[in-house]
A = this chain, B = another copy of it.
């Protein structure tokens, strides 16, 4: 069976709990080996990657095959706005950083990923 390719878009930090719960439900329902889940965080949601309470369940999902992506534009904008500066080299190793999350979201859909915004 072909894998079910799913893209989860999150751009608000307060939506992480819902998003991570959705992904867990998806893996449990479809079976880890039957899905390919990519999470793309931009905007303020990138701060979730610096929040240990959120990083812990993310890591558990990463072990199950979920990919986590952060938008570099968002990281640098947030830093310039004085909200917080997250150093890329200090971020958890399971996170991949892309130049522009928005381009990644568009490209993944053209590659056949279903788009879901929790």
Q: How many copies does the complex hold?
A: 3
Give me 11 other A-B pairs in contact (C-beta within 8 A), A29-B73, A105-B116 excluded.
A4-B103, A4-B106, A4-B107, A4-B110, A18-B43, A22-B102, A23-B102, A25-B73, A29-B99, A109-B115, A115-B116
Tally of contact residues, A, Cβ under 8 A: 34
Q: Are B114 and A29 in contact (CB under 8 A)?
A: no
Give the interface of A toward B (CB within 8 A): 4-6, 9, 11, 18, 21-23, 25-26, 28-30, 35, 42-43, 73, 77, 99-100, 102-103, 105-107, 109-110, 112, 114-118
In contact, B114 and A106 (Cβ under 8 angstroms): yes
Is the contact region of chain A dominated by helix, strand, or loop, or is it mixed?
Answer: helix
